[in-house]
């Protein structure tokens, strides 16, 4: 059984998943949220659904970045990696998803339009997969066209914003306009980390507090929490990590060239 929205919001199929066109999006991340709700920790949730602790953290970071509001609130220092709870908005998301699972055989177009339409956009954002480690949802604040390229400024949670330089053709194809919802995507390897703002030609300097540093044999992963709640993940060398001396709680900035930012929109 499948239910299709005439307003192109997506198609729900059995087993429950969110489907857009030919691409079906896994419900694994919603299961992770449910597990966080029941276990009260990231580590417990990861174990409950058979996911590694790091993969669970990465998924939670992506969920919080893509949803309209914070979904999971972490609490550091607890046993087993610290505690975590769902925000009120997060509980709304899993409640909506749970209703769909319980009523799959009775789902109707009317139910879809009137009871979950307002959450469909965020369900899609939370569940979608991309190779870019950093995907942020926001609203276009300004759009300045040049002869060949355009400057797009995307407002994120709080007062944070990201500037991208894209072609005028891309602006036209995506029908970008001020006030339109959009996504900004940045590869973690494109981000430079600094303990403070730099004199740099890079248009984006997103500053916040180091959430965590995960060391590897060659590279390290640095996650910076911005004032608005977004989490920026950077991949830097172990040598850079040691020279910077970064640790959780330190102030840091993510330096990103505008040309390294990809802009996307929902169909």
Residues 191 and 265 occupy one common structural domain: yes
Residues 147 and 266 occupy one common structural domain: yes
pLDDT of residue 144: 96
Residues 158 and 251 occupy one common structural domain: yes
Q: What is the CA radius of gyration of the chain?
A: 19
pLDDT digit string, tens, across residues 162-173? 999 999 999 998
Boundary-marking domain end, from 99, 127, 155: 127
pLDDT of residue 160: 93
In the predicted structure, residue 217 carries a pLDDT above the cut 70 = yes
pLDDT of residue 64: 84
Boundary-marking domain end, from 102, 127, 152: 127
Domain that holds residue 160: 130-267
pLDDT of residue 74: 77
Residues 111 and 181 occupy one common structural domain: no
Please check whether residue 183 is in contact with residue 135, taking contact to mean a CB–CB distance below 8 angstroms.
yes
C-alpha triplet 35, 38, 42: angle, nearest 5°: 50
Boundary-marking domain end, from 77, 107, 127: 127
Residues 112 and 219 occupy one common structural domain: no
pLDDT digit string, tens, across residues 235-251? 999 999 889 999 999 99
Name the band, by pLDDT with cuts 50, 70 and 90, for residue 265.
Answer: confident
The residues near 109 (Cβ < 8 Å, ≥ 6 apart) are 3, 4, 5, 6
pLDDT digit string, tens, across residues 37-75? 999 999 999 999 999 999 898 888 888 887 778 889 877
Residues 134 and 56 occupy one common structural domain: no
Residues 28 and 114 occupy one common structural domain: yes
Residues 192 and 103 occupy one common structural domain: no
Q: Which residues of 124-143 are buried (b: 16+ CB within 10 A; e: fewer)?
A: bbbbbeeebbbbbbbebeeb
Residues 172 and 91 occupy one common structural domain: no
pLDDT digit string, tens, across residues 81-96? 558 899 998 898 888 8
Please check whether residue 152 is in contact with residue 171, taking contact to mean a CB–CB distance below 8 angstroms.
yes
Residues 242 and 253 occupy one common structural domain: yes
pLDDT of residue 224: 96
Distance of CA 149 to the CA centre of its chain: 26
Residues 136 and 266 occupy one common structural domain: yes
pLDDT of residue 248: 92
Residues 92 and 201 occupy one common structural domain: no
How many structural domains comprise the chain?
2
Q: What are phi and psi of 199, to 5 degrees?
A: -80, 95
* CATH label of the domain that carries residue 203: 2.40.50.100
* CATH label of the domain that carries residue 85: 1.10.10.10
């Amino acid at each position: 059984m499948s239910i299709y929205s005439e307003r192109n919001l997506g198609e729900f199929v059995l087993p429950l998943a969110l489907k857009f066109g030919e691409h079906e999006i896994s419900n694994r991340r919603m299961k992770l949220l449910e597990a966080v709700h029941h276990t009260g920790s990231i580590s417990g949730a990861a174990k409950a659904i058979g996911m590694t602790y790091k993969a669970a953290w990465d998924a939670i970071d992506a969920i919080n970045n893509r949803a309209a509001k914070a979904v999971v609130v972490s609490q550091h220092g607890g046993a087993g990696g610290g505690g975590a709870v769902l925000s009120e908005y997060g509980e709304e998301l899993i409640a909506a998803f749970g209703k769909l699972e319980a009523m799959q055989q009775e789902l109707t177009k009317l139910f879809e339009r009137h009871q979950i339409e307002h959450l469909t956009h965020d369900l899609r954002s939370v569940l979608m997969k991309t190779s870019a480690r950093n995907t942020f949802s926001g609203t276009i604040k300004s759009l300045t066209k040049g002869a060949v390229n355009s400057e797009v400024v995307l407002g994120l949670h709080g007062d944070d914003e990201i500037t991208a330089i894209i072609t005028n053709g891309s602006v036209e194809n995506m029908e970008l306009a001020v006030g339109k919802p959009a996504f900004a995507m940045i590869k973690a390897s494109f981000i430079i980390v600094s303990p403070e703002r730099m004199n740099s030609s890079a248009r984006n300097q997103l500053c916040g507090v180091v959430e965590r540093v995960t060391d590897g044999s060659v590279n390290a992963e640095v996650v910076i929490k911005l004032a608005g709640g977004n989490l920026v993940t950077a991949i830097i060398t172990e040598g850079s990590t040691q020279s910077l001396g970064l640790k959780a709680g330190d102030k840091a900035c993510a330096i990103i060239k505008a040309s390294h930012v990809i802009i996307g929109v929902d169909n």
